[in-house]
Amino acid sequence: MMVTHLLDFYIDKGMENMVIYNPHFAPSNDFYLKFGSELDRQVHQMNGKLPVDIFLVNMLTMKNKMEQSLKKYS
C-alpha cells in the first residue's frame, strides 16, 4: 500500500514514467517485473564488477497492478 501511495503522489505531480536501477541479483527485480516494469538493459558499474538492471516503469500501470494484487488479499 505504501508504494501505491508514493505512486499516487508522483502521478498527481504529472509524472508518468520512472527508471529503476537495481543490482542484477537483487530479489526485488522479480517484484518490479511482476508489477509491470520492463527490463530495458543491463549495465556494469564498479569497474565492471556490479551488473545493474535498468527497468522502465509506467507508474499508472504499476499502481493498477499493485491494487489488483492487494484486492486478492483483502
Domains of the chain in sequence order: 2-72 (3.40.630.30)
| Residue-averaged pLDDT of the chain | 95
The predicted pLDDT at position 72 comes to: 85
Per-residue pLDDT tens digits for 29-43 = 999 999 999 999 999
Per-residue pLDDT tens digits for 3-38 = 999 999 999 999 999 999 999 999 999 999 999 999
Identify the sign of the CA torsion 9, 10, 16, 19: negative
Q: Look-up: residue for cell 518490479?
A: 32
Is the predicted pLDDT of residue 74 greater than 80, yes or no? no
Q: Give the residue-averaged pLDDT of 61-70.
A: 95
